[in-house]
Structure 1
Amino acid sequence: MSLLDYENQMFLDAFHEDGLLVTAKGLGIDRILKNFIKVHCDPANLVLVLNVSSTEVDYLTEQLEIEGVKPLPKVITNEYNASDRQSIYLQGGVLFITSRILVVDLLTDRVPIDHVTGILVYKAHKIIDSCQEAFILRLYRQKNNTGFIKAFSDSPESFTSGFCQVERVMKSLFVRKLFLWPRFHANVVSCMEQHQIDVVEVQLHLTPAMMACQSAILDLINACLKELKRCTPAIDSDEVTVENALTRNFDQVLRLQLDPIWHQLGPKTKQLVSDLKTLRLVLRHLTQYDCVTFYSLVKSIRSSEKTFGQNSGWLFLDAADSLFVHAKERIYGPEDTMKKAKVAEETTRQQENRVPILEQCPKWEALSEILAEIEEENVKQGLSSSQGRTLIAAEDDRTCTQIKDYLCEGGSTILARMYNKYVALKLGLQEVSEKKELDKYPNKSKGRGKMTKKPVEKPEQSSCEYTLTQMVGKIDDNTSSRANPEGNEGLQLSSQDAYYGILSSPAVVVHPLHGCSDHQGLMRTLQEVQPRYVILYDADMQFVRQLELFKCTRPGLPLRVYFVMYTGSTEEQRYLTTLRKEKEAFEYLIRTKATMVIPEERDGKAGDAPNLARDSTPASETVSSRKGAVEKPQEQRVIVDMREFRSELPSLIHRRGIEIEPVTLEVGDYIITPEMCIERKSVSDLIGSLNNGRLYNQCVSMCRYYRRPILLIEFDPTKSFSLQGKYDVSREVSIQDVTSRLTLITIHFPKLRILWCPSPYATAELIQELKIGRDQPDGATAMTVTAAEEELEWSDRYNHGPQDMLLKMPGINSRNYRQVMNKVESIAELSSLSQEYLTELLGNSGNAESLWKFLHQQGGVIEESTNQKPSYKKNSKSNFHGKGNKSSR
């Protein structure tokens, strides 16, 4: 599929020069990435693609396969071993690869880095200087200064937070150019105007009760925000507003501001944050779901004793009373109607069981009218169901389910069913049968009849009054037969989130906008269904742009979009705020680009980029002035366990001029010297390891093989934590207490050192300081150390003192010391053995000679040895056998 004019310009800008491409949401950043992959799908190239999820990989591969691209990109996962990965690298082409696998292969020289054509980085707004992708790019630029680096992002807002955010990202990406493509770019506007969509705006008004509920909720949110600002002066008043509280990411913005001081906040402030989250949920339910769901939510909040007793005070405001009254009004009608109903009832029980009115959603009726209009137009134009397909895009799966139920059963039916389920049963009332409810509450939906009650075995064979078909359910990829209305036998939907087969004429597909199991599911459905009509049940900026792009790429096909929205509602304001924030983000980036000063060596191709420089000399290391010659600095090295590459610490260690050697370690996480081993834990890992006993086994292994074992605990200084409860302070040692277990660890392992570090940056600095003046570790030796459970039990059967002494002797290593302790009773017995017997015992003549000389050499004279066999001395002070220092676990 060819690119549009503005997409061609995007592609050419990024193709000719390395840089960061930032586009507006929905303008086709995935199409640009796909074309870069398409261009380099050749064995003569070796291009690596980073930061792409598995669903995105599947989508891109499918699109390339449709366009006939060969060979297709390969996907490298942990299913391939090291040798297989190395051979795949040598085959060339485009490779999708996880960052953890690639950084290990780069450090072990499995990747022919000199032959790498370039690297494509997707979702570049997530790149920070300590992440794995930044580590990969730094390793790449150190050994390859000719390959390209292209970065892509469609989240301009992410580059505006923090200090010089876009400059920091570009520094980590090793790029100098910034390409900006907002929706208001002249080329984009020109392209979209040439292929305009037929848009029908359906402006709805909230019912009086809904409007009253909305006003009450906004007043409550405003009151909570004012109180929050009063209690927390450090909060940013410009960001914490009622308008921003309507957006999706407001909770995240609020927590980012409060996280550094969260442990200093009082209970009232924390409760205000929780109440704001609750009120935002209530506001979303008002415009998103039906009256019964909304009333059930507000009623549960009010009736909950925990919430009622622990709220910040908003439940006692007049606005809260107004919210509850008008939410109830949507169920039972205005107050005067309810009073008349009470007079008409005869018994007290009937007085409590008022006849519900059950106000229907205005969008439901509008949806019925739109579908009736579509069906009428298809009949006039003589279009079949396959030619006049309709796609309904709603907010989430719950909304899609309600739309499906409404179109199949009618609004009154599902409202009555939900009323019986959520309201009537809680009051202890008997559930009314569906037929009785339908007689009492006539169907108000226009153009849609109710479902017939004829029992059917197969959903495909069901029939309804006025062309309704029974919904089969959610599409399953493993199901071969799908619900295909008449004339649509060849249509197959790959998205698991789509509802299909609701109506036979027009053919309707319902798909959620957010919360999908497949992030590309909506685009898949759009391409597979090829709809003539699209109903935007809920507004979404990104999908609107995708529809514009869909129309531009298919200029000959008609497309009509019905834009359904509540006028003067928070739904409308949320959509407008999203547009405004993206526009302001691009304006900020444009101003930043105009004033940004980027050094020529930023891209690292000259080999002297500032972001390639590594601090190889610690601040505490001094050079002696008495040395006459300049010594070549020793290469610093740290052995790192493979599993640790999920964290950012290896990258930070490498930035300090220390080489990283990745191996599979059974004992410890980091070997920084031949004698020093580090087991790294977060606070949550520490508590879990203490509770399940795993930390004890790890300490046993470290103390057995390393002279200086270290338990390093990392914590976040901006977040509070506690190793014991608020009222658990006691002088007695309890095995259930975390602090007691940690104390027992320190008692049982006196060699163990416990270090606390406030961040990975501090940990990297500490490791650099600990390595000063010490030897470098050996990866091969570290890999021989094993921590199998049977070995721990075996070692505890012997005295630890003689074991430690034996392991320090020349010729003794982790492979042969077991054989010695099984065959020899004590060190005294060992010294009486002949060199020939030691050779037989150790299995190596060199090790036997080293040990024999060490045991028998005194003052340079070799004593004459005996040829006797070992005889056991039961009472030797240096016996290996005996009761070990086994501690209670």
Structure 2
Amino acid sequence: MSGEQANPVVKLSLPLQYQQDLFSELRAEDELVILARGLGLLRIVTNLLHSYDAAGNNLIIVVGAGSRENEWIGEALAEQYAVSRTPLARGLKVINTDKATVPLSLLIEPIELLDPETITGLIVLHAEKIVATSLEAFIIRIYRQFNKVGFLKAFSDSPEPFTIGFSPLANIMRNLFLRKPSLWPRFQVTVAESLEGRKKAEVIELEIPMTDKMRDIQNAVLECVEANIRELKKANSGLDIEDWTVDSALHQDFDVAIRRQLEHMWHRVTSRTKQIVSDLAVLRSILHSLLTYDSVSFIKYLDTIIAMHSPPPGSTRQNYSPWLFLDAAHVLFQTAKSRVYRGKISNQEFISDTASLPTALEPVLEEQPKWSVLADVLDEIERSTYPNPVAPGGSNGTILIMCSDGKTCYQIREYLETMRIKVETPNDETNDEVEVDGNKPSGEFMLRRKLRSYLNWKRISSKINSNMYDTKSKQEPGTASGYNSVGSATRYQGRAPPNKRRRVRGGGGSGLAPVRSASNSVQPDTMASAQVSTLLEEIKLAEPQDEAIGVEIVDDDQKDTEDFYQLYDMNDLLMVYSYQGDVDDHVLEEVKPRYIIMYEPDAAFIRRVEVYRSSHTDREVRVYFLYYGGSVEEQRYLSAVRREKDAFTKLIKEKGSMALTITHDRSAEDPQEQFLRTVNTRIAGGGRLAATAAPPTVVVDVREFRSALPCFLHGRSMIVVPCQLTVGDYILTPDICVERKSIRDLNIRELKKNNPEPDPIRAVQIGLDFDITSPAMAAAATGASNSIMTAAGIEHRTFNQLPQDMLRAIPGVTPKIAERLVLETENLQQIANMEMEELEPLVGKEVGRQILRFFRRNLFDEEIVD
């Protein structure tokens, strides 16, 4: 082999100093890397993989990567291979079991992997999710058990999970078999110098005030959130409730954290508490919708929420959502309605796309404040680019708008397409749109179109509601409720009728809108039901379309391709994207935007822009940062930045005082200790001590590796053998198998599957599936071990089953005592004739007294006394 092939030159795409330092650390030793969000974690991972790929003859397993991350890794390796042209690199063009980088799916059973000794190394993504019972930890344990020389490197860009619990960093590192953590926050010296030492991006911060009605709605929702938190604290005073505040309730993981604290007692929690936990997620979504939805879509969303939380007519259920009865809820619904229209909605005919709105309604159609600011920013960009249409440096003239989700992207596109269309007169019945070149953009045309759709939606939902319950009240007893009309069987063919569907969490019932009673209390309207809400969600009115035009069908020959397809001019392009995590780095590199408009704040994307600008000094970037001042949007952004900073500060302190993590190598264990681990110390009525040459073996169905129990079994030094089983999920001994069932799917008829077998299994146990946070999971592994040890002493002897069942029915006889009596006695007659002196050495004094009292009891004398 030539010297060039022995030491190939690797071309890296890491221009910043902190990236190069981190890459050198990773090549030198194994460690857990915790990087701040937005600093290019996947770029470092792909360069690390490319360095091993360029050396050739390496097999690397990537654990914990999602589908998008797999695509990122594949494209990045292929790109780097095309640039470097290293002879031994494969570029991920061949995904097989030899000499390639294989992203591992979590659906693959970890036992059936390649030989661990042939694996060069293991790379773990999302290390914050590694717990002792996770499938990733199972894979890492198996890898380290058989491969002591391969490298193991873990990565994470979420520091907050490493600060929850007692010594979380040390626990996760023990699960990863790593000793050294490497922390890279944004305020780290090298990171700060890399991002601030070069030319910075031009950032223009625009604080947009909310309207008065939006502020009233936000205050009302926050009041409902605070009331729910007070109810939770009152009902669960014994839990850790210091962090149960309105500020923490704005984050997405708040209801998950509450559920985690209540998990061990969830079966004892009242239905009211469960309802409040689900209501917190609903209220948080309302806050998000207030700032992202337009006013018409927002009130439609509120109507859907009310419909899902109202009981059906005539129902006596009392588990309504408590926040619906608050005064703040009344303010919420009334203010949301006042943003859209004034007046009363009547049950009118269908409103066409070009028809005017009803005269009884006065449209208000309040616009989102960000819309006008966005239009002004685009006008400013257009004025600045008019003298110089060609962008300087390596940037394009592309304008990139970033927002939170796909719905907001669609809303922005729709607004930009219709903001120059003005409505001539509200009462024009012929055509209410006129193209004008006004200077002031407006979303009135878009909102009026949405209002027509909303009114049609209300009319159809009211009609469905009235028809359903009128039919239900008129039909005779014994007929199918609401589904006795002609064609109902075909209308719901292939799916259950709405009233037969499985209920989901939060799918309780609700009415159309709460109204005020004479006592000034909020009363839900009972005109709608939970059954109707399912139908309401399925109603999707098509958006108004332009008139159909004739389309001429022609052959799409290759010669006509240039007439219909062409490349976009990147200097005159406006693109709207949603935040997609690490995929945003690809978007910045491919689009090369000159102007970036952050429609909603995101701390990670701000850092991605900093990395992008620092990596390409020849590209000019101007960033417009839009946010609502004094809103939960600003509060959530500042809180996320503060939480990340506090998490890194806590991790730095824990790293300074953390004990050294020592990984235990079982291959170096004393042979005598290994022998003692396999000894069966159960005497079993005076029997001999039993020892096996190998640890216990459990045959596990391959589908069971999605659960945590195989990981528990492997952690108790058992040999786990995967197999495709037809009967049972776990085979403990040749006579004992376990069928794992969840509580809702438990069916005793599963036991009858064993009867028609030609060689039936003598003992089938039904195991209930508990959550991994329950101690029952660890007890299941202990029970499996005990079952194997118990069966080892009696598997070569045959006993009659009926006397054993009678023996277990005797008071005080436990399974272990029954086994001892079976081994030491001949039959039940012998046990019934034993004296206390004979029973005491076998079962003890107390149990012997119960057995003796049971057999010496005279039922005839008791009847005479009675």
TM-score (normalised: structure 2): 0.68
Aligned counterparts of 1:483 and 1:384: Cα–Cα separation in 2: 28
**Paired residue for 2:123?**
120
- CA positional deviation for 1:486: 8.3
Aligned counterparts of 1:319 and 1:713: Cα–Cα separation in 2: 44
* Alignment counterpart, residue 510 of structure 1, candidates 573, 576, 589: 576
* Alignment counterpart, residue 91 of structure 2, candidates 72, 85, 102: 72
- CA positional deviation for 1:231: 2.0
Give the paired residue count.
Answer: 646
- CA positional deviation for 1:207: 0.9
Q: How does 1:639-678 map to 2 (within 5 A)?
A: 639-678=699-738
> Could you tell me whether the CA contact under 8 Å between 2:340 and 2:363 is conserved in 1?
yes
Q: How does 1:206-245 map to 2 (within 5 A)?
A: 206-245=210-249
Going from structure 1 to structure 2, the CA distance change for 1:303 and 1:149 (only over 3 Å counts) comes to closer
* Alignment counterpart, residue 449 of structure 2, candidates 404, 413, 417: 417
Q: Which moved more, 1:647-656 or 1:91-100?
A: 91-100
Going from structure 1 to structure 2, the CA distance change for 1:141 and 1:414 (only over 3 Å counts) comes to same
Going from structure 1 to structure 2, the CA distance change for 1:356 and 1:598 (only over 3 Å counts) comes to same
Partner-residue secondary structure (3-state), 1:8: helix
- CA positional deviation for 1:718: 7.7
Q: How does 1:455-470 map to 2 (within 5 A)?
A: none
Aligned counterparts of 1:350 and 1:167: Cα–Cα separation in 2: 64
Q: How does 1:127-142 map to 2 (within 5 A)?
A: 127-142=130-145
Aligned counterparts of 1:715 and 1:383: Cα–Cα separation in 2: 63
> Could you tell me whether the CA contact under 8 Å between 2:81 and 2:90 is conserved in 1?
no
> Could you tell me whether the CA contact under 8 Å between 2:40 and 2:608 is conserved in 1?
yes
**Paired residue for 1:92?**
99
Partner-residue secondary structure (3-state), 1:27: coil
**Paired residue for 1:709?**
764
Task: Provide Cα deviations, 1:736-786, integer angstroms capped at 9, x if missing partner.
Answer: xxxxxxxxxxxxxxxxxxxxxx633222111111111645999xxxxxxxx
One-letter amino acid matched to 2:135: Q
Partner-residue secondary structure (3-state), 2:600: coil
One-letter amino acid matched to 1:399: T
| TM-align CA RMSD | 4.0
Aligned counterparts of 1:393 and 1:282: Cα–Cα separation in 2: 21
Partner-residue secondary structure (3-state), 2:279: helix
Going from structure 1 to structure 2, the CA distance change for 1:536 and 1:703 (only over 3 Å counts) comes to farther
> Could you tell me whether the CA contact under 8 Å between 1:392 and 1:510 is conserved in 2?
yes
Aligned counterparts of 2:618 and 2:793: Cα–Cα separation in 1: 69
**Paired residue for 1:21?**
33
**Paired residue for 1:769?**
786
- CA positional deviation for 1:104: 2.0
Determine whether 1:168 maps to 2:171: yes
Partner-residue secondary structure (3-state), 2:366: coil
Q: Percent identity?
A: 34
Aligned counterparts of 1:171 and 1:368: Cα–Cα separation in 2: 53
Going from structure 1 to structure 2, the CA distance change for 1:268 and 1:618 (only over 3 Å counts) comes to farther
Q: How does 1:722-741 map to 2 (within 5 A)?
A: none
Determine whether 1:277 maps to 2:276: no
Determine whether 1:545 maps to 2:564: no
Task: Provide Cα deviations, 1:608-659, integer angstroms capped at 9, x if missing partner.
Answer: 69xx9999358854699999x9977444222222222222222221222221
Q: How does 1:415-814 map to 2 (within 5 A)?
A: 415-423=447-455, 426=458, 488=568, 506-513=572-579, 521-599=583-661, 601-602=662-663, 604=665, 607=668, 616-617=677-678, 621=682, 633-686=693-746, 695=750, 698-700=753-755, 704-716=759-771, 759-772=776-789, 774=791
- CA positional deviation for 1:700: 3.6
* Alignment counterpart, residue 61 of structure 1, candidates 61, 69, 74: 74
**Paired residue for 1:35?**
47
One-letter amino acid matched to 1:709: V
Determine whether 1:178 maps to 2:181: yes
* Alignment counterpart, residue 158 of structure 1, candidates 134, 143, 161: 161
Partner-residue secondary structure (3-state), 1:763: helix
> Could you tell me whether the CA contact under 8 Å between 1:51 and 1:121 is conserved in 2?
yes
**Paired residue for 1:361?**
368
Task: Provide Cα deviations, 1:161-209, integer angstroms capped at 9, x if missing partner.
Answer: 1222211111111110010111111111111112411111111000111
> Could you tell me whether the CA contact under 8 Å between 2:70 and 2:103 is conserved in 1?
yes
- CA positional deviation for 1:367: 0.9
Going from structure 1 to structure 2, the CA distance change for 1:641 and 1:295 (only over 3 Å counts) comes to closer
Structure 2 residue runs of 5 or longer lacking an equivalent are: 1-12, 83-88, 313-317, 346-355, 420-442, 463-543, 553-559, 796-866
Structure 1 residue runs of 5 or longer lacking an equivalent are: 77-87, 339-348, 431-450, 460-479, 492-504, 720-757, 779-889
One-letter amino acid matched to 2:65: V
Partner-residue secondary structure (3-state), 1:150: strand
One-letter amino acid matched to 2:20: N
Partner-residue secondary structure (3-state), 1:377: helix
**Paired residue for 2:193?**
190
Aligned counterparts of 1:613 and 1:632: Cα–Cα separation in 2: 11
Going from structure 1 to structure 2, the CA distance change for 1:644 and 1:73 (only over 3 Å counts) comes to same
**Paired residue for 1:501?**
none
One-letter amino acid matched to 1:711: I
Going from structure 1 to structure 2, the CA distance change for 1:682 and 1:314 (only over 3 Å counts) comes to closer
Going from structure 1 to structure 2, the CA distance change for 1:675 and 1:427 (only over 3 Å counts) comes to closer
Partner-residue secondary structure (3-state), 2:361: coil
- CA positional deviation for 1:241: 0.8
**Paired residue for 1:49?**
62
Partner-residue secondary structure (3-state), 2:677: coil
**Paired residue for 2:110?**
103
Aligned counterparts of 1:279 and 1:132: Cα–Cα separation in 2: 34
- CA positional deviation for 1:670: 1.8
TM-score (normalised: structure 1): 0.66
Aligned counterparts of 2:674 and 2:248: Cα–Cα separation in 1: 41
Partner-residue secondary structure (3-state), 2:728: coil
Partner-residue secondary structure (3-state), 1:166: helix
Going from structure 1 to structure 2, the CA distance change for 1:603 and 1:191 (only over 3 Å counts) comes to farther
Partner-residue secondary structure (3-state), 2:34: strand
- CA positional deviation for 1:287: 0.9
- CA positional deviation for 1:271: 2.8
Task: Provide Cα deviations, 1:764-823, integer angstroms capped at 9, x if missing partner.
Answer: 111111111645999xxxxxxxxxxxxxxxxxxxxxxxxxxxxxxxxxxxxxxxxxxxxx
Aligned counterparts of 2:138 and 2:459: Cα–Cα separation in 1: 61
> Could you tell me whether the CA contact under 8 Å between 2:680 and 2:789 is conserved in 1?
no
Aligned counterparts of 1:455 and 1:314: Cα–Cα separation in 2: 47
**Paired residue for 1:143?**
146
Task: Provide Cα deviations, 1:553-592, integer angstroms capped at 9, x if missing partner.
Answer: 2221111111010111111001011111111111111111
- CA positional deviation for 1:483: 13
Q: Which moved more, 1:309-318 or 1:14-23?
A: 309-318
Q: How does 1:389-400 map to 2 (within 5 A)?
A: 389-400=398-409
One-letter amino acid matched to 2:718: I
Aligned counterparts of 2:188 and 2:453: Cα–Cα separation in 1: 52
> Could you tell me whether the CA contact under 8 Å between 1:145 and 1:607 is conserved in 2?
no
Partner-residue secondary structure (3-state), 1:771: helix
One-letter amino acid matched to 1:380: P
* Alignment counterpart, residue 252 of structure 2, candidates 248, 251, 255: 248
Task: Provide Cα deviations, 1:74-105, integer angstroms capped at 9, x if missing partner.
Answer: 786xxxxxxxxxxx54x324222235546223
One-letter amino acid matched to 1:260: H
Task: Provide Cα deviations, 1:477-506, integer angstroms capped at 9, x if missing partner.
Answer: xxx9999998726x7xxxxxxxxxxxxx84
Instruction: Pick 1 or 2: higher relative contact order, CA cutoff 8 A, min separation 6.
Output: 2
> Could you tell me whether the CA contact under 8 Å between 1:533 and 1:561 is conserved in 2?
yes
- CA positional deviation for 1:369: 0.8
